[in-house]
Structure 1
Amino acid sequence: MSLAQKINTLWRQIATVIAFSCFGIGGALLGLLFPVLNQLTPTAQRQTRARQIIHRIFSYFMRWMRFLGILHWQIEGQERLGRPGQLIIANHPSLLDVVFIMAQIDAPNCVVKGSLWRNPCVAGPVAAAGFIPNDSNEHMIQASVAALAQGDCLIVFPEGTRSTPGQSLQLHRGAATIAIKGAAVLTPVVITISPSTLTKQEKWYKIPPRRFVMTLRVLDDIDPSAYRRSRSDPIAARCLNRDLIDLYTQELNRG
């Protein structure tokens, strides 16, 4: 490794520690700020305002990480994200996927891990935004269908946790059930990272050998009503989930 490469690696290591430390501290400070903002915002607008703030902060965070030389990104089809009643599903290869996709959409709703409500760094923002916990499958589906009915753009990661490199993709049927029961349109998004980093098996401070590139591709819309015809909801959800697994497997193998 040349001297220039060693300096670059050291800088990216330092920059990564700074970036993620600021992310955690910023989340905790937001938790203290949102109660104050709630007093200044009409009740009906509080969740939307919180989601808009989170979207902007995530957008600034991604740009800052790019400025620091940690990452770069490419996006195809961003203009088709953020429609009312749209269910967006995405694969989950890295720790930054939620931040990356929410940075592209103004005021999105999202299904997130229930454990985040117990995380002091993010519990405040998650609660203020009214995001949907995945602790209970039945409650998650009911809350998601209700969110879509009121015009939210909802993001779901059907894997439920980060992908395991080298293993076949597994999608929980909950996202397909939500699509069948309440989505006006279903939009699959494929996220890839090169070189692989921030996976479930890697600590956040274990940086890759070079600046990594995150790619977000918005695939063609899927009409959930096509699966509802002549099928019960459970059967339609199983068929849709099977087709989604095939679709993602094909798209990820292309890379």
Structure 2
Amino acid sequence: MAKALIRSLDYAWRLFATALSFAVFGVGGMLLWWLVLPILALRPGLPAAKQRRAQYAVHLSFYAFIGLMHRLGVMTYRIDGLEKFNRPGQLIVANHPTLVDVVFLLSRIQHASCIVKASLWRNPAMRGPILHAGYISNADSQAMLDACAERLREGGCLIVFPEGTRSVPGRAYRFQRGAAALALQANCLVTPVVLRCRPSTLTKAEPWYRIPARRFALTMQVGDAIDIDAFRAIEPRSIAVRRLTETLQDYFSERRMNDEHDGN
């Protein structure tokens, strides 16, 4: 009886803490847009320098948000290979199991861009960071690819989810070819990042309030850079893109299979 009561109280607290966390996220996003980022933009400097300041402000706010969720008991987290981040001209390729993946990544990368849905430009909690930090819209595929390649060639860091949307638990990965095409066009450093969430939560099919029976654990495993030189030698480029996409998909699929085999 006592154990059942404790579990019920724990669940109720985590549900409240989850709601509080997302409320703080929304308010924080609007404060960034209306107050923090405009003040940073007033400081002198070239547009690229202003973008980096905005990216760093987003990084700090997301770092605080992940810390808040951890301290409230909503989640735990572990990161392996953090030292492989924050390198110039780095394309970070990650799987996408949860709603907070990009927040988790940006909380550990000081200066990074990412591709965002065109609809998020109308989201009051996200519009400010998107505009000031120079995030890239997916409204036009070719324009998006060109903008991403230019950002990487200039030494920027970019986060890409090759699935294009959040993963569906139990369904095999199906990577789109954009990440591979971008890597070959920019001739950049490709760093794979495997994200895991146990138990599964905040997936595309789950609303935020459908929380798991216990707090969830996020893990981030930063892999070694993938050598793309061999793929750049393949002609035509469409074949090179297809083979690199297959290599990336196999990389993440193999690690998912290992997780399932180990029972993680």
1:57 maps to 2:61: yes
Offset of residue 40 of structure 1: 2.4
Residue 101 (structure 1) aligned with residue 105 (structure 2): yes
The 5 Å alignment of 1:120-135 reads 120-135=124-139
Structure 2 match to 1:37: 40
Alpha-carbon distance in 2 for matches of 1:41, 1:20:
33
Normalised TM-score (structure 1): 0.97
1:28 aligns with 2:30: yes
**Gaps spanning 5+ residues in structure 1: where?**
none
Return 143-152 or 29-38, whichever deviates more: 29-38
Contact residue 181 and residue 233 of structure 1 kept, 8 A: no
Structure 1 249/128 Cα, relative in aligned 2: closer, same or farther at 3 Å? same
Quick one: distance in 2 between partners of 1:75 and 1:59? 13
C-alpha RMSD over aligned residues: 1.2
Q: Identical aligned pairs, as a percentage?
A: 44
Q: 1:212 to 1:225 in 2, by over 3 A?
A: same
Q: Within 2, Cα distance between the matches of 1:25 and 1:186?
A: 34
1:131 shift after superposition:
0.5
- What is the number of residues matched between the two proteins? 255
> What is residue 80 of structure 1 aligned with on the other side?
84
Q: In structure 2, what is the equivalent of residue 137 of structure 1?
A: 141
Asked if structure 2 preserves the Cα contact closer than 8 Å seen for 1:89 and 1:155, the reply is yes
> How has the CA–CA distance of structure 1 residues 14 and 181 changed in structure 2, closer, same or farther, with 3 Å as cutoff?
same
Q: TM-score, normalised by structure 2?
A: 0.93
Q: Partners in 2 of 1:43 and 1:205 — Cα distance? A: 43
Deviation of 1:141 after TM superposition, in Å, equals 0.8
In the alignment, what sits opposite 2:95? 91
Q: Which moved more, 1:42-51 or 1:169-178?
A: 42-51
Q: 2:120 aligns with which of 116, 119, 127?
A: 116
Superposed CA deviations along residues 81-134 of structure 1, whole A, max 9, x for unmatched, are 121011100000100100001111111111122211111111111111001111
* CA distance in 2 between partners of 1:24 and 1:41 (Å): 29
Counterpart secondary structure, 2:185:
helix
Q: Which runs of 5+ in 2 are unaligned?
A: 260-264
Which range moves more in the overlay, 49-58 or 103-112? 103-112
Please give the alpha-carbon distance, in whole angstroms, between the structure 1 residues aligned to 2:163 and 2:237: 20
Q: Distance in 2 between matches of 1:160 and 1:134?
A: 10
CA contact (8 A) 1:86 1:183 kept: no
Q: 1:230 to 1:203 in 2, by over 3 A?
A: closer
- In 1, the alpha carbon distance for the partners of 2:13 and 2:152 equals 43
Q: Secondary structure at the match of 1:2?
A: helix
